[in-house]
């Protein structure tokens, strides 16, 4: 079924958001508001139960399988009570509408609407009648604790304390640790490899160099006989 065979104008094509448990009530209201129209109601299943609960002999209710068989069945206003099994079936439905068409859509059926709009080549305008809105979803409570809202005076006081804290003179610390060994000051510094830096190694007194000891007697010249 191509979109070219759809005779109704886009402005006369509607989706009415409605929970499943309120569809019968909304359907009755739409029928009353369009009593001068030749109305045809189409559903995908349970047509007998719908006819019984509707209790209206002025409108005709058919199932999708019956609609396909009756090729000449048409109406000025076609109402889809639910979402059909396939998108192409919906195209068959609205091709039987001469003037207007609408569908009652539960929130769970919204995802299937995309494939219908793709075949149709445009989005279908959605409306909400008062009293037939989707139920509001409960907001998820965050696990994070809520922050207390501060007054202007409290914010100014916090800012003042932060400023005073940042402007205080910080104590100065020597970057190097000094250790004392007696009266000598020893500075130590270790490299990343764990070895001492010779620059700061402890200075030790140089060892005293002593020459070879020679006996005084050996230095005296022997007298010639």
Question: Model's pTM, two decimal places?
Answer: 0.60
User: Using CA atoms, how far apart are residues 52 and 122, in angstroms rounded to an integer?
Assistant: 35
- What percentage of the chain reaches a pLDDT higher than 90? 46
Query: Whose structure tokens read 């995908």?
Result: 44
pLDDT at 210 over 80: no
Stronger pLDDT, 89 or 208, i.e. the higher one: 89
Give the DSSP H or E segment for 154: helix 152-167
- pLDDT the model gives residue 186: 45
Stronger pLDDT, 219 or 38, i.e. the higher one: 38
Q: What 3-state DSSP class applies to 56?
A: coil
Backbone angles phi, psi at 39, to 5 degrees: -100, 135
Q: What 3-state DSSP class applies to 63?
A: strand
- pLDDT the model gives residue 38: 94
Stronger pLDDT, 18 or 144, i.e. the higher one: 18
- Which candidate, 111, 118, 124, places its Cα nearest to that of 15? 124
- CB-based contacts of 115, cutoff 8 Å, min separation 6: 87
Stronger pLDDT, 94 or 217, i.e. the higher one: 94
Average pLDDT over residues 12-19: 95
Average pLDDT over residues 205-222: 57
pLDDT at 166 over 90: no
pLDDT digits (tens, 9 = 90+) for 35-94: 999 999 999 988 999 998 888 888 999 999 999 999 899 999 999 999 999 999 999 999
Assess contact for 99 and 12: CB atoms under 8 A: yes
Average pLDDT over residues 150-173: 74
pLDDT band at 162 (very low <50, low <70, confident <90, very high): confident
> Per mean pLDDT, which range of 3-17, 30-44, 119-133 is the poorest?
3-17
């Amino acid at each position: 079924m191509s979109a070219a065979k759809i005779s109704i104008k886009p402005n006369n094509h509607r989706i009415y958001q409605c929970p499943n448990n309120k569809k019968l009530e909304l359907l009755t209201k739409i029928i009353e508001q369009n009593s001068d129209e030749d109305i045809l109601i189409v559903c995908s299943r349970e047509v007998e139960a719908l006819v019984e609960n509707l209790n209206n002999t002025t409108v005709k209710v058919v199932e999708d399988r019956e609609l396909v068989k009756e090729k000449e069945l048409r109406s000025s206003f076609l109402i889809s009570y639910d979402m059909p099994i396939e998108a192409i079936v919906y195209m068959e439905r609205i091709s039987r509408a001469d003037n207007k068409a609408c569908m009652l859509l539960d929130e769970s059926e919204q995802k299937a609407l995309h494939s219908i709009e793709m075949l149709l080549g445009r989005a279908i305008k959605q409306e909400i009648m008062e009293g037939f809105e989707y139920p509001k979803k409960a907001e998820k409570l965050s696990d994070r604790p809520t922050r207390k809202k501060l007054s202007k005076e409290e914010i100014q006081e916090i800012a003042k304390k932060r400023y005073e804290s940042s402007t205080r003179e910080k104590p100065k610390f020597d970057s190097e640790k000094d250790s004392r060994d007696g009266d000598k000051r020893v500075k130590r510094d270790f490299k990343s490899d764990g070895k001492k830096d010779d620059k700061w190694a402890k200075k030790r007194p140089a060892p005293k160099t002593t020459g070879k000891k020679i006996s005084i007697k050996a230095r005296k010249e022997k007298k010639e006989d």
